[in-house]
Structure 1
Amino acid sequence: MNKNVGGIDRTGRIVIGIIAGIAGIAALLGYWGAGAVIGGVALVVGVILLVTGTTQKCPINEAVGIDTTERGK
């Protein structure tokens, strides 16, 4: 699988992934009153965003044909 995530897309995924992961952990531990389900969803979304941002590979982008790297412009 070729890299298809770059630039602002990559940075945004990493930053939002960290924020969502922290929010998910806080909700699961009871520090944030969003509930366990919301916390679990936020944690999963955060991990997915972090993985796709750091590896620069997104299967959904590939399926749709989106490439945000310099090569894709």
Structure 2
Amino acid sequence: MFKINEGRTDRILRVVVGIAMLAAFFAFPDAGWRWFMLIGLVPLLTGIVGTCPIYTLLGINTCPVRRS
């Protein structure tokens, strides 16, 4: 369905950042800025799926080149 345009390191980094941001959302229930941490859903989901819409628009691909 989607063409994968994220390499392994990129995907791992996105998932880690997404989880950290969501953890901060739940760790600080009284902080006014905590709602900003819900943006962590974006890198988490793009890291899991393996495709980034912004990369597609800009023509960026961090996948390693496969050699045959």
- Does the TM-score normalized on the shorter chain lie above 0.5? yes
Q: 1:70 aligns with which of 61, 64, 67?
A: 64
Q: Deviations over 1:22-66 (max 9, x none)?
A: 012223x22xxxx33x211112x2111110000001101111111
1:10 paired residue number: 11
Which structure 2 residue ranges, 5 or more long, are not aligned?
Answer: none
Whole-angstrom CA distance in 1 between matches of 2:47 and 2:65: 16
Distance 1:13 1:41 in 2: 16
- In the alignment, residue 11 of structure 2 is paired with which amino acid? R
- In structure 2, the partner of 1:39 is 34
Judging by fraction of residues, say which structure has more helix: 1
- Give the Cα–Cα distance (whole angstroms) in 1 for the partners of residues 43 and 19 of structure 2: 8
Stretches (4+) displaced over 4 A: none
The unaligned stretches of length 5 or more in structure 1 are none
How many residue pairs get aligned? The number is 65
Identical amino acids, percent of aligned pairs: 32
1:42-57 aligned at under 5 Å gives the runs 42-43=37-38, 45-57=39-51
CA RMSD for the aligned pairs? 1.6
User: Normalising by the residue count of structure 2, what TM-score does the alignment of the two structures yield?
Assistant: 0.82
Cα distance in 2 for residues equivalent to 1:41 and 1:71: 36
Q: Please give the alpha-carbon distance, in whole angstroms, between the structure 2 residues aligned to 1:64 and 1:10.
A: 18
